[in-house]
Chains A and B, each alone.
Chain A
């Protein structure tokens, strides 16, 4: 079963507008972490934002915020005031498992969403 699902292969947004990138996840672990990474065309992976499963508030980092809905198992990334430099591939990822478990430390990634920002 797919553990991380990103249903939007591609998204388009006008410069200065906000955009939401969807991510749903599946886990039976009560403790997990959710991450968003940005991959520009140059290829490197850039960490954007983190949300812990026990965090009461949605995470925010500058123009990035995470809309965390635990009951729906969704962790959507919201980018406000889009800029041309936001054009990139975006990955949602989850870290679960306790020390000693077979999945300890593993990041499970979604398929990614390509975001294009139009001027």
Chain B
């Protein structure tokens, strides 16, 4: 089954404790990205990757890191989480980044930083 898999689904952590949210897709997609969803703001792009070893900042990259060592995986790293990073996070992938390509989303990761 074609899918984007994120883990964990839920995470409660303390300020400053490094964490990684994993994302994997099995559709051989080139384009992957991370979004955060906050009430009243919709989803905003954090980072994206056009292909292996090619990543770039989205609209809200502060406090996050990513890497793309393999085509299928695109982990999101929070080196020192803070309470303002409490949010619902989505990984998404699409065949390319073209305007007519559908994005497939993971199930979401609800992160709480206390």
Contact = CB atoms under 8 A, between A and B. Distances in A.
Interface in A10-67: 31-33, 35, 37, 43-45, 47, 50, 52-53
A93 B56 CA distance: 20
Nearest to B99: A33
Interface string B91-114: 010101111111111011010000
A33 B110 CA distance: 28
B102 A107 contact: no
State the main secondary structure of chain B at its contact with A. strand
B16 to A, nearest CB: 27
Nearest to A111: B42
A91 B59 CA distance: 18
Given A111-B41, A111-B42, A106 B99 contact: no
B100 A109 contact: no
B10 to A, nearest CB: 10
Interface string A77-101: 0000000000000010101110100
B90 interface: yes
B65 interface: no
B1 to A, nearest CB: 14
Contacts of B90: 45
A32 B99 contact: yes
A35 B58 CA distance: 19
B31 interface: yes
Contacts of B58: 106
10 contacts: A31-B99, A33-B99, A37-B105, A44-B105, A45-B105, A96-B99, A105-B50, A105-B98, A107-B103, A111-B42
Interface of B: 31, 33, 35, 40-45, 48, 50, 56, 58-59, 88, 90, 92, 94, 96-105, 107-108, 110
Given A33-B98, A33-B99, A95-B98, 11 more contacts: A33-B101, A47-B104, A53-B99, A91-B43, A93-B43, A95-B97, A104-B50, A105-B97, A106-B58, A109-B43, A110-B42
